[in-house]
Amino acid sequence: MALKIVKGSIDRMFDKNLQDLVRGIRNHKEDEAKYISTCIDEIKQELKQDNIAVKANAVCKLTYLQMLGYDVSWAAFNIVEVMSSSKFTYKRIGYLAASQCFHESTDVIMLTTNQIRKDLSSPNQYDTGVALTGLSCFVTPDLARDLANDIMTLMSHTKPYIRKKAVLIMYKVFLKYPESLRPAFPRLKEKLEDPDPGVQSAAVNVICELARRNPKNYLSLAPLFFKLMTSSTNNWVLIKIIKLFGALTPLEPRLGKKLIEPLTNLIHSTSAMSLLYECVNTVIAVLISLSSGMPNHSASIQLCVQKLRILIEDSDQNLKYLGLLAMSKILKTHPKSVQSHKDLILQCLDDKDESIRLRALDLLYGMVSKKNLMEIVKKLMLHVDKAEGTTYRDELLTKIIDICSQSNYQYITNFEWYISILVELTRLEGTRHGHLIASQMLDVAIRVKAIRVFAVAQMATLLDNAHMLTGNTQRNGICEVLYAAAWICGEFSEHLENPMETLEAMLRPKVATLPGHIQAVYVQNAAKLFATVLKSQEGNTDSTTAQEASQLMIDRLPLFVQSANLEVQERASCILQLVKYIQKLQQKDVEVSEEVCALFAGELNPVAPKAQKKVPIPDGLDLDAWINEPPSESESEDEQPKAIFSKEEPKHSRPRHTEVDEKELARRREARKQEQANNPFYIKASPSSQKVYQETPGVEHIPVVQIDLSVPLKVPGLPMSDQYVKLEEERRQKERAEKKKKDKKKRKEKRSGRGKKHDSGPESEEDITPAHMVDIVTEEMPENALPSDDDERDPADPHKALDIDLDNLESAGKRPLADSEKLPVRSHRAAEVLKSPAEDEEGENVSSLEPKKKSSKEKREKKKDKDKDRKKSKEEKKKKKHKHEEKEEADLLCGQADEPAFQSEETNEVVTPPTSTSADEAATVAAAEAAPAPGAISVTTPDSEPEEPKDTEMEETKSSKHKKKKQKREKEDKEKKKKKKHHHHHHHHGDKGGEESVQNGTVEEEEPLPPMSNYCLLAENSYIKVAYDIQGNLQDGSQVVVSVIFENKCDSFLKSMEFNVLDSLNSKLQRPEGSGPHDSLTIPFQLPPGVSNEARFVFTVQSIIMPQKLKGTLTFIVKNEESSTHEKLDFKLHFTCTSYLITTPCYSDAFAKLLESGDLKSSSIRLEGVNMPFHHLLARICFHHHFSVVERIDSCASMYSRSIQGHHVCLLVKISSQTVSVDAKCDEPTLLGNVLDEIKQTFSQC
């Protein structure tokens, strides 16, 4: 035995090791391949030996050869052998080789399972480590499934070295075996707080990767990450977390609000550029997610922009690049802040680094204004000339066009200049964007009427010099512009100075080398030109020009009649016959021009891109039904690749098509010849039509030497855009001078000397008037276009992604959930996820969760509105105008109504349907678990409204779910803030000329309002307290939402809560589809001791004019250590008429009109002994009964509200010494009576 080993080691000495191999390869530079093939032969021999050391050496060499591109998969089995060596040295070599060349379809992998398992549990931590590292590279679904458990155990290994590797590899395991995610997740989460920073970092890493793909499922971890962010000092971890927050904020804007402060602090304090940059990035993401209704974050934007400017100005190109990258993110939402750094960005255009120039180009789009467009484009044009790579040049070209055409040519003051720019761009060689330029030319010429004369002249020149554009036709995309040129010249030929010349240019034989669709346009527009020529010669006694024109057409068209392109051929032969006929008439001296012109009469107007979509489908028309039986597939027309021309010329044929048509064409030609031969009336073409053009005497037969200059010739007559820049400058100067004069006059009149800014400073945007009045023709829409809301919606709007059509899910089966739509709870969606039956269940679960989502979305929208309104109200206050406020103002005043909305967002616990399968149950619980957590961290909303004591209780609701010290601390913070915020109330003072009047829904406050709450007690026993509030659903006239707060009063756990009511004929509890009318709803949460939480239930109501009471029961299980008991609590849900009212703002003029209309019945009540200030009284009515103040004058106020079914309720409230009289009008007397009774009730209670 020993001898064998000795022999082996001696053998080994003669073997080449890796170093020898490398040296050998380096010494055989000339015949490397040959040398390597002999080496491979040697390796094969070595692999056949029993000695593991020899084998390992061979495998090590193979790894090197693999790097050089040699396939070594044939040695896979030997690699496995080396992997299973007991020695670490060889094992490591084996695993390295495996990680370099094994992949999922390597079949020997299945032999490795046991070996790997053995290594994972090896007492030597480095054996384990090597196995983990190797496995991370070649893990397959099978390995993942078989080893998931072993790896999970390793996550709690005593050695941090193993723990961190095990944690990291879990991500790979999840990818290959998604089912492992849920069982492994708790442990993974635990590792976020591992004492070892390396393990912690690994856990953060894995969760960040997971969350990046499915951020929704990880919102619940936000508080934990928040804690890590504020405590960790490891920049690597911080960066990851901050990046993760960037991904989470779009889903949870309140998280963003919370983040701004710590991030800002980090920005100020950190010295690490990488961290600073990521902070800025995430702040930007936050600001984007908050962009609506967060007026007070301009400071943060400013900070970001400032920091980015520092980055861009840095000499380090990397920082410059990243700065620009981040700037472009801000640009989308806060263009103004970026615009102020225009100078800097323009500078970057000159950077030597293409990456940086490209980034700067991106930014330019948002930088332009009327004032600087020409200057910027001029600069870009210079770059176009200088640019060496075609990619960069094409990028420049598209950017120029993008910039100029953006928002309907908003920034173009001089269209002559723009046309010149476009013409200059046509001189670019080898650009792929000819069609882009062409479509711009067409668009401008069609839509800007005033420019047509100029455009036509330019296009004529272009046509005349067409040979310059068609140097190498087929692959040169630029010849597309000829399409536009020909069309413009033809369509607007009345503006042509010399139509005859252009006609000649369009019929040159060279045209026949152009792509078919362009030829077709040439032919068609030649006919238009011909008509124009005839018209211009009308009344002219000398008809030679007209006859020359006809002759020209007759001479040249036959060339096109022979075109291989069907479209060209058809048009040409039609027109040829027409012209021949015209010529006959001309010879008889018949006036034909009028008839010919009639062919092309009428103006073509631009059609809106959406016009087709907007045409309403007439009743009974089924667009999907076949008109005829479907034709054979070869004839099927596929969608045109370039849609840009479709609006003008929907039928032009594609080059691709011509090949298909070739045979068909030949067949038809043959058929036609036959037909023609048999048709006595057919005017036969001259027998040698092929020769016709060759023999035609004409200029084009003088051979023209093509000069192929690399530098485009400056053809006289082609405009130079530069001159316009100068002209424009002069013009503006003149205008400015004139304006100055005027201003001076004005100023003299006013005698106010303030601000010399006006004449010395740069002119503002509005000052620049277009050079010539441009009448941009708006695009046409069909007469009865269907209105749609999403028209104005920016496709880049981030909210659009949230706009998921959930309605379709409700009516199950309408549109089955696509794989990508499924929301697996905590399972990662990998491409190769195997479909399991469990997943389908999940899909169902998603659809049944639907009502929950919808309502939370609504609320969010509502809240957004509210934010807007709040902003508005502040503005209004400033204006001191007699304007009217929105309903939310009342809510704002009392703060409370705001809170439930928050709640619902947080908890998402609106009527969760009972779940049947256990998997579903788990999912729901997980969702419930996930949902409230972000709320816990965003308790301190900077904008939070004044709080009432009752609120504190509700706060508890939120925070109590996560009983951690941190939350408590936050609560305290909040209370502090609360105190600060108390002044918030006082922003609605309005006095106008001594007479005091108050605006809609607001009351000025001499003294603070007493606390108010709309939540009334529903039922209570020793275990639980239940309070509720009812609110109308604005969107649906037959729905009300009942928010119920459950508070656990005892020391036991309350679980399995079920809520049920006995439906009446009028009111019904909405239950999920498929459940019976008497089924109870499972409340989707459990209550630990002392905790409260809120759920929402939707009821449908038919008649709302009468109040109503519904009987119901709440059942739940009280569980403590010893026992669990089933408990039951009965209650009566009181639907007051007030709860059907929705605070709706009303303007005083509309209010007056309403009262005048006479449709309303009136009624009145008197309240005696009311002992409270008038504004308190109004606030109470507003708050408890959902009214808004229309107008208030002294001790008299008009108020308004509307029911969910649209009844108007108007009140006139007067107070005189403790007596309040309420005169009311409503279109439904019963409702009014009930509302008044309820108001009376409210005041009798206090």
Partner 1 sequence: MIKAILIFNNHGKPRLIRFYQYFAEDMQQQIIRETFHLVSKRDDNVCNFLEGGSLIGGSDYKLIYRHYATLYFVFCVDSSESELGILDLIQVFVETLDKCFENVCELDLIFHMDKVHYILQEVVMGGMVLETNMNEIIAQVEVQNRLEKSESLPFILH
Q: Could you say which of 16, 113, 142, 161 contacts partner 1 (CB under 8 A)?
A: 161
Q: Could you say which of 111, 117, 126, 759 contacts partner 1 (CB under 8 A)?
A: 126
Question: Rule CB under 8 A: is residue 821 a binding residue for partner 1?
Answer: no
Residue nearer to partner 1 on the CB measure, 55 or 961 = 55
Phi, then psi, of 887 in degrees rounded to 5: -55, -35
Q: Which of 380, 393, 400, 465 is nearest to 430 (CA)?
A: 393
Question: Rule CB under 8 A: is residue 808 a binding residue for partner 1?
Answer: no
Residue nearer to partner 1 on the CB measure, 93 or 1236 = 93
Per CB under 8 A, the segment of 161-169, 443-451, 693-701, 1047-1055 that binds partner 1 is 161-169
What is the rounded CA–CA span in Å between residue 1080 and residue 1176? 41
Residue nearer to partner 1 on the CB measure, 314 or 953 = 314
Question: Rule CB under 8 A: is residue 1162 a binding residue for partner 1?
Answer: no
Residue nearer to partner 1 on the CB measure, 326 or 1226 = 326
For the beta carbon of residue 986, count every other beta carbon within 10 angstroms. Answer: 11
Q: How far is the CB of 854 from partner 1 (least distance, A)?
A: 31
Q: How many residues would you count in the chain?
A: 1246
Residue nearer to partner 1 on the CB measure, 272 or 574 = 272
For partner 1, the binding residues in 92-111 under the rule CB under 8 A are: 92-93, 96, 100, 103-104
Q: What is the distance, to the nearest Å, from the Cα of residue 1049 to the centroid of all Cα atoms in its chain?
A: 46
Asked if 468 contacts 505 with a C-beta cutoff of 8 angstroms, the reply is no
What is the rounded CA–CA span in Å between residue 50 and residue 61? 17
Residue nearer to partner 1 on the CB measure, 168 or 1040 = 168
Asked if 309 contacts 270 with a C-beta cutoff of 8 angstroms, the reply is no
Binding mask 25-64 for partner 1 (x = CB under 8 A): -x--------------------------x------x--xx
Q: How far is the CB of 244 from partner 1 (least distance, A)?
A: 9
Query: Which secondary structure element, helix H or strand E, spans residue 975, and what is its range?
Result: helix 965-980
What is the rounded CA–CA span in Å between residue 140 and residue 257? 42
Q: How far is the CB of 88 from partner 1 (least distance, A)?
A: 5
Beta-carbon contacts of 409 under 8 Å, excluding residues fewer than 6 positions away, are 415, 418, 444, 448, 776
Cα-based angle 159, 160, 165 (whole degrees, multiple of 5): 110
- Bridge partner residues of 560 (DSSP): none
Residue nearer to partner 1 on the CB measure, 240 or 828 = 240
Q: How far is the CB of 51 from partner 1 (least distance, A)?
A: 11
What is the rounded CA–CA span in Å between residue 106 and residue 1132? 68
Q: Could you say which of 118, 212, 332, 964 contacts partner 1 (CB under 8 A)?
A: 212
Asked if 283 contacts 245 with a C-beta cutoff of 8 angstroms, the reply is no
For partner 1, the binding residues in 318-357 under the rule CB under 8 A are: 318, 320-322, 352-356
Binding mask 293-312 for partner 1 (x = CB under 8 A): --------------------
The one-letter amino acid at 741: K
Residue nearer to partner 1 on the CB measure, 354 or 402 = 354
Q: How far is the CB of 157 from partner 1 (least distance, A)?
A: 15
Q: How far is the CB of 839 from partner 1 (least distance, A)?
A: 25
Q: Which of 427, 484, 473, 419 is nearest to 644 (CA)?
A: 484
Question: Rule CB under 8 A: is residue 133 a binding residue for partner 1?
Answer: yes
Residue nearer to partner 1 on the CB measure, 618 or 795 = 795
Q: How far is the CB of 26 from partner 1 (least distance, A)?
A: 8
What is the rounded CA–CA span in Å between residue 683 and residue 42? 84
Phi, then psi, of 1052 in degrees rounded to 5: -105, 170
Question: Rule CB under 8 A: is residue 172 a binding residue for partner 1?
Answer: yes
User: Site size for partner 1, by CB under 8 A?
Assistant: 69
Q: Which two tokens stand for residue 1205?
A: 């079914």
One-character DSSP codes across 28-67: TSTTHHHHHHHHHHHHHHHHHSS-HHHHHHHHHHHHHHHH
Q: How far is the CB of 382 from partner 1 (least distance, A)?
A: 21
For the beta carbon of residue 321, count every other beta carbon within 10 angstroms. Answer: 20
Question: Rule CB under 8 A: is residue 485 a binding residue for partner 1?
Answer: no
For partner 1, the binding residues in 179-208 under the rule CB under 8 A are: 198, 201-202, 205-206, 208
What is the rounded CA–CA span in Å between residue 159 and residue 144? 22
Q: Within 679-772, where are the H helices?
A: 689-695, 721-750, 757-760
Q: How far is the CB of 1076 from partner 1 (least distance, A)?
A: 48
Q: How far is the CB of 297 from partner 1 (least distance, A)?
A: 24
What is the rounded CA–CA span in Å between residue 226 and residue 258? 9
The percent helix, strand, coil of the chain (3-state, each to 5) is 60, 10, 30
Question: Rule CB under 8 A: is residue 498 a binding residue for partner 1?
Answer: no
Query: Which secondary structure element, helix H or strand E, spans residue 501, and what is its range?
Result: helix 499-506
Q: Which two tokens stand for residue 1?
A: 């035995």
Q: How far is the CB of 277 from partner 1 (least distance, A)?
A: 6
Question: Rule CB under 8 A: is residue 22 a binding residue for partner 1?
Answer: yes
For partner 1, the binding residues in 351-410 under the rule CB under 8 A are: 352-356, 358
Q: How far is the CB of 329 from partner 1 (least distance, A)?
A: 12
Q: Could you say which of 13, 14, 19, 773 contacts partner 1 (CB under 8 A)?
A: 19
Q: Which two tokens stand for residue 369?
A: 């204004």
Place of tokens 């060889």: 90
Q: How far is the CB of 386 from partner 1 (least distance, A)?
A: 17
- 382 to each of 415, 425, 1211, 1229, how far by Cα in Å? 20, 11, 70, 76
Q: Could you say which of 55, 84, 112, 171 contacts partner 1 (CB under 8 A)?
A: 171
Question: Rule CB under 8 A: is residue 274 a binding residue for partner 1?
Answer: yes
Residue nearer to partner 1 on the CB measure, 137 or 812 = 137
Question: Rule CB under 8 A: is residue 317 a binding residue for partner 1?
Answer: yes
For the beta carbon of residue 736, count every other beta carbon within 10 angstroms. Answer: 16
One-character DSSP codes across 84-138: T-SSHHHHHHHHHHHHHH--TT-GGGGGSHHHHHHHHT-SSHHHHHHHHHHHHHH
Question: Rule CB under 8 A: is residue 75 a binding residue for partner 1?
Answer: no
For the beta carbon of residue 1066, count every other beta carbon within 10 angstroms. Answer: 15
Query: Site residues (CB under 8 A) for partner 1?
Result: 2, 5-6, 9, 18-19, 22-23, 26, 53, 60, 63-64, 66-71, 87-89, 92-93, 96, 100, 103-104, 124, 126, 132-133, 136-137, 161, 164-165, 168-169, 171-172, 198, 201-202, 205-206, 208-209, 212, 235-236, 239-240, 243, 273-274, 277-278, 317-318, 320-322, 352-356, 358
